[in-house]
Amino acid sequence: MKRINVAIAGFGGVGRAIAGLLLARRERYCSVFGVDIRLVAVCGSRAGNASRDGLEPHDFDALIDSLSGVDFILEARPDVLIEAGPSNFRTGAPGHAYIGAALDAGIHAIVISKGALVRDGQGVRERAARSGSLLKVSGATAAALPTIDLLEYNLRGCEFLHIEGILNATTNFLLTAMMEDGLSFAEALRKAQAGGFAERDPRNDTEGWDTACKLLILANFGLDANLTMDDLAVEGIQGITKAQIRTWKADGAVPKLVGTITREGSLIQASVGVKTLPASDVFAQVMGKNKAIRVRTDTMGEIVAIGGGAEPMATASAALKDLEHILIATR
């Protein structure tokens, strides 16, 4: 049976969920694809573990200090790297080093952290093209919600005229709480933080940067645009007042943080901001931690997808969807 070696760089909640799900699906990979999948290395920023024969779940709790870094991963000779580390879209670190080295070495890459894709999307795409490696980014573009898939697969052949997305679960949760419970932004944020739905420093979400990152990757990878963060107008939800909420409620309007991509001829533009929608708009029904995308096309009309799933499993499952697409493309 053909053997496929997988390595995971970044071993927090998402990395661990991927590892667990990958091993749980070994029988599926064997029966559906006829491949013997082995998880040959995992690492966080300081520690990791590796095995030529393949790691087992108990190995995840026995990480060894200093087994980490690009060389550690390359030495395990994976066929596929899944990169699930922390993300910094201003520097691209630490993912960029792992992804770049893997692609250069002919290793297929499944990327979850957005940093490298935002900072140097063009560069990593070129490195993949040069070595013939596949580069998959579902996990970086709203994970279980089909976004880049929709453009590349379901709507294949269409021209994309307009794309809108509710792409960040935290801000959608906050806006839902502000509208339904009449909370201020600060009160809603404290509630979300207490429930584990917002980070201690929530600005990456609340100021619109996470939405902007996903939108940028979608435009550059899905529409072949070449945008940088400086090209995007980005507005968050942190400035919304209780008075605005009262007015919107009185008007029957529903606020959502929406990322928008417009296309006129070859000009592709993107922006992030609060939109107020009528209650009859399907986007107004996207509540809590759900996400959504709406794509207007020339020949297939308008398609909306809504979803999300519980994290970290949903993102893990999106990464392993990418893995199956790689297995199909390379068999």
318 sits near its own copies (criterion: CB under 8 A)? yes
**Subset of 157-186 contacting its own copies (CB under 8 A):** 157-158
One character per residue 284-303, x = contact with its own copies (rule: CB under 8 A): -xx----------x-xxxxx
Residue closer to its own copies by CB (options 23, 63) is: 23
Q: Which of 74, 155, 215, 237 binds its own copies (CB under 8 A)?
A: 155
Q: Which of 57, 150, 181, 189 binds its own copies (CB under 8 A)?
A: 150
The residue count for binding its own copies (CB under 8 A) is 41
222 sits near its own copies (criterion: CB under 8 A)? no
Q: Which two tokens stand for residue 185?
A: 């932004």
225 sits near its own copies (criterion: CB under 8 A)? no
Q: Which of 34, 77, 90, 153 binds its own copies (CB under 8 A)?
A: 153
Q: Which of 14, 144, 216, 219 binds its own copies (CB under 8 A)?
A: 144
Q: What share of the chain is helix, strand, coil (3-state, %, to 5)?
A: 45, 25, 35
Cα gap 146→305, rounded to integer Å: 7
277 sits near its own copies (criterion: CB under 8 A)? no
Q: Which two tokens stand for residue 249?
A: 């409620």
Q: Note if the bond before 312 is cis, omega within 30 degrees.
A: yes
Q: Which of 145, 169, 270, 272 binds its own copies (CB under 8 A)?
A: 145
Neighbours of 59 (CB within 10 A): 17
- What's phi and psi for 303, nearest 5 deg? -120, 135
Cα gap 29→166, rounded to integer Å: 33
Q: Decide: 205 and 189 in contact? Cβ < 8 Å.
A: no
Question: DSSP labels for 249-305?
Answer: HHHTEEEEEEEEEEEETTEEEEEEEEEEEETTSGGGG--TT-EEEEEEESSS-EEEE
One character per residue 3-42, x = contact with its own copies (rule: CB under 8 A): ------------------x---x--x--------------
320 sits near its own copies (criterion: CB under 8 A)? yes
Residue closer to its own copies by CB (options 270, 284) is: 284
Q: How far is the CB of 134 from its own copies (least distance, A)?
A: 13
